[in-house]
Amino acid sequence: MYTTIPQALSSAVRRDPTTPLLTWYDDATGDRTELSGATLENWVSKTANLLVDGLGLSGGETVAVLLPPHWQTAAILLGVSEAGLSVALPGRPQPVDALFMTPAQAGEAAAWAAVDRYATGLLPLAMPLREVPPGFVDYVTDVRNYGDHFGGAPVTPDSRALASPIELSHLAVMRTATERAAELGITGGDRVLIDARAYPGPIDWLFAPLVVGASVVLCANLHPAKLEARTTAEKVTVVLTA
């Protein structure tokens, strides 16, 4: 079993950097985005460099990721972990060192008391925002300015990975994700279709598949009529829907 989140991601990329690791669908917009392990790792490294080199954050600090399941959310969550920082998930607001949210949530930002605020519209093709809320920076525009490789200090199993809603170390997240993968019937090599509405927590849609060596087809606004064809087209072996 892996003992840190970056270790699990690195293993997935080394196993096969070119095959799809995370494929995103939004049936409300028609968006489909496919990320190989190497492409996802690139976004993760850029995000980690943004946090460390751009914002000057370091171990022990906390980043609120208040975004729904999405491939950009995966890149940010994994980037926070790569940088040795901890994640605060949606829930009770608390002071944090940086936050990521959608423009629609901008009114909630003050409650989190973060100086550094990033917004993303989670738009197709990682398009930038047409209008950036006051006091925010556009994540997909700014992150492109940072390096493709992260050279920060290695994360340890005891490093804090989650700050809230409960506090968990990297090792605890990996153990929880391994147990959850077993409950969901996910094993190594599986291609897992996940309904984002039914499984909104990152332990389920991100970390559980990652820790056992599975790839993900993550679907927002999943249309039941498209399920069978998508399962066939994406060579899905496990379906997790409501």
For residues 174 and 16, what is the distance between their CA atoms, to the nearest angstrom?
21
Average pLDDT over residues 218-237: 98
Average pLDDT over residues 22-50: 98
Q: Give the dihedral of Cα atoms 11, 17, 204, 182; nearest 10 deg.
A: -60
pLDDT for res 119: 98
Q: Where are the alpha helices (DSSP H) in the chain?
A: 5-15, 37-49, 71-82, 139-142, 170-184, 202, 208-212, 227-233
Inter-residue contact 215 to 236 (CB < 8 Å): no
Into how many domains does the chain fold?
1
Inter-residue contact 72 to 127 (CB < 8 Å): no
* Residue showing tokens 């669908």: 25
Helix (H, G, I), strand (E, B) or coil at 220: strand
Structural domain harbouring 145? 5-240
pLDDT tops 90 at residue 91: yes
pLDDT tops 90 at residue 59: no
Inter-residue contact 111 to 93 (CB < 8 Å): yes
pLDDT for res 242: 87
For residues 176 and 166, what is the distance between their CA atoms, to the nearest angstrom?
12
For residues 87 and 99, what is the distance between their CA atoms, to the nearest angstrom?
9
Give kind and range of the element (H or E) at residue 223: none
pLDDT in tens, 99-138: 999 999 999 999 999 999 999 999 999 999 999 999 999 9
* Residue showing tokens 């968990």: 168
DSSP letter, residue 224? G
pLDDT for res 4: 98
pLDDT in tens, 62-75: 999 999 999 999 99
Domain of 190, CATH number, reads: 3.40.50.12780
